[in-house]
Structure 1
Amino acid sequence: MDHVKQFVANNTHQLGYIMQIASDQWKEIDPIGALTVGTTAYFEDKHGNYHKILDELELRKKYESYLKNIIRSGEPLNEEQTFAWFCKEWSIEK
């Protein structure tokens, strides 16, 4: 077993810390291709991390559903209500 594997084996209680340090060093050496958790640093810089993307996708689905309900109801689109809904969902103050 090489010294890195031995170090990890002796410090399994700190695996998260070891992984974070390794990831940070890799990003410094190769900021475009470094792997983070499942994606590259470049992808995260350009599109955001996985959780941010999922949150935005969920919000888009909610917004689409909100608009479909308005269309089905036959009511005119009220821009003020739509803006209020959007701010509430994104936790933005008007």
Structure 2
Amino acid sequence: MHYGLWTKFTTQAGEGQRLVDLLLEAATSLQDVSDCKQYIVSTTEQSDTVMVREIWTDQEAHAASLQLPATRQLIEQARPILLQVERVFEDRPLGGKGLV
């Protein structure tokens, strides 16, 4: 069974696009991580709010990804511009288009 995660990031005023760029870099860094099934970065009507949808093989794989050097570096770059990081919810994706 897969592990899914939706996270809402709120940045300081005017920093939304900078965070999008960092998160898209994170998505690129995960291209060869087979345990990462999906990492989608989305914007909202609020320019300083960014959403990330992740699907992993399991919760442990997600936790391990937070220790990867590229991930650690991107977290450090993002930290100064973040006001809030909210784990909206966790779920158990079962299947469908795009999830094998």
Q: TM-score, normalised by structure 1?
A: 0.26
- TM-score (structure 2 length as normaliser): 0.25
Rg comparison, structure with higher value: 1
Q: Which structure shows the bigger proportion of residues in strand conformation?
A: 2
Higher relative contact order (CA 8 A, sep 6+): 2
Higher helix share: 1
